[in-house]
Structure 1
Amino acid sequence: QMEFQLLDRMSFKRFCRLTNSRTIPDATTIWVFENRIGEAGAREIFDGVESQLFAKGFIPRGGQMIDATLVQAPTQRNTREENKLIKQGAMPA
């Protein structure tokens, strides 16, 4: 799954700092690394990443990916008559 995500998603490549990399680790390489560091090593890495996120003001939430793209929306102002129609449940033209 990790290999697929690295090949499929630019956000994963950026997070792992592999954006300009010509080679992405394959599943076997990732598996060997995982076995080499063990559960304690993995926990230490995750705790380190979490503390860096907290230091920057981010709150990590498990299992969520949020697109933080900001799009400017035009400001809409209704007239008083339109506001009255909206309050009555009608749709202004």
Structure 2
Amino acid sequence: MTRLSEKTENHLKDEIVSALYHSKRSMFSNQIATEICRDNELVKRLLAELDKMGVVERLLKNKRGVSYKERNRWRLRPEVEKAFRQSSF
């Protein structure tokens, strides 16, 4: 795998956050990868980093309360989404 610069990784993280904000719904990691045109493994790694930073959160269960076994659904944390709404015009 090619090593990406920190600047490029930060840009991709911004794209992930933007995709989640504009979707208005939670998204699976493969949907995010398709949205930003990157491979799924890279997107999963970046989402894990964003989760540690407190920007996004991984949803463990669907609306019916059934746990996801292999797929990961992600969304922006409510406080981050609120900050985005306040900063946009």
Give your verdict on TM over 0.5.
no
| Higher Cα radius of gyration | 1
Q: Which of structures 1 and 2 has the larger relative contact order (alpha carbons within 8 angstroms, sep 6+)? A: 2
Task: Give the structure-2-normalised TM-score.
Answer: 0.29
Task: Give the structure-1-normalised TM-score.
Answer: 0.28
Select the structure that is richer in strand. Answer: 2
